[in-house]
Amino acid sequence: MTHSLPPLPYATDSLEPFIDRQTMELHHAKHHAAYVSQLNAALERHPALQTLSVEALLRGIRSLPGQVRPAVRKYGGGHANHSLFWVTIGPPTGGPPAGAIADAINTSFGSFASFKERFSKVALNLFGSGWAWVIEHHGRLTIVTTANQDSPLARGRSPLFGLDLWEHAYYLLYQNRRADYVNAWWNVVNWPAINERLAHEMAGVVAH
Ligand code: MN3
């Protein structure tokens, strides 16, 4: 089994004006695709690892052979991070989160406004390339960052959603204005999809 680039579940221009078509095309078909092909190349000599999902590779990264570990960290991380990113954004629907994610946000941060402020601040303070993440644990949400393409999965944490803070995610439209990109991203967050992920995670916790 080899890893493959998941198709985008919407048209590349459907996030405009917040994320432009050209950025979406390059980001998905070039950047993400490169992580997938580099991951596959790294696993070529490790047939036993080729049956594992990218999530399983990252969760078990410490037990991987030393020669393949850096590639899984970089390219497996890049593949998993982007696969999650695409499905937790979507065409703008407007409006704040509802349902379970709204409850979890209110419980953890007091209000959506204060969550938004905290998350944005964390995203702006991240130096260099990386990601800001929201992680759920027993119904409470926390905000963490990772550098480069490091995945929270490699630290035993499952990200609910995250924001790509590499310049390739915003430079064409926003140049160096990361704050404008972060502000724009709130308009394309797919709260219904995040609610579904949250429901699965909370069901998983109950089942343990
Ligand atoms: Mn990216």
Q: What is the pLDDT along the chain (208 residues), one digit of tens a residue?
A: 699 999 999 999 999 999 999 999 999 999 999 999 999 999 999 999 999 999 999 999 999 999 999 999 999 999 999 999 999 999 998 789 999 999 999 999 999 999 999 999 999 999 999 999 999 998 899 999 999 999 999 999 999 999 999 999 999 999 999 999 999 999 999 999 999 999 998 887 544 3
The CATH H-level (homologous superfamily) assignment of domain 20-208 is: Iron/manganese superoxide dismutase, C-terminal domain (3.55.40.20)
Dist. CA 71 → ligand 1 center (Å):
16
Dist. CA 100 → ligand 1 center (Å):
28
Dist. CA 206 → ligand 1 center (Å):
33
Dist. CA 90 → ligand 1 center (Å):
16
Q: Where are the chain's structural domains?
A: 20-208
pLDDT at 196: 95
C-beta of residue 109 within 8 angstroms of C-beta of residue 96: no
User: Exposed, middle or buried: residue 172 (CB in 10 Å: 0-12, 13-18, 19+)?
Assistant: middle
Tokens of residue 167, six digits: 């310049």
pLDDT at 207: 44
Dist. CA 166 → ligand 1 center (Å):
6
Dist. CA 163 → ligand 1 center (Å):
9
Q: Taken in order 148, 153, 156, 161, is the CA torsion positive or negative?
A: positive
Detail the DSSP E strand segments found in 85-204: 130-137, 140-147, 159-164
Dist. CA 34 → ligand 1 center (Å):
11
Cα angle 63, 66, 67 (rounded to 5 degrees) comes to: 135
Dist. CA 9 → ligand 1 center (Å):
17
pLDDT at 208: 36
Give CB contacts under 8 A, 24+ apart, made by 126-130.
Answer: 126/165, 129/165, 129/166, 129/167, 130/165, 130/166
Dist. CA 30 → ligand 1 center (Å):
10
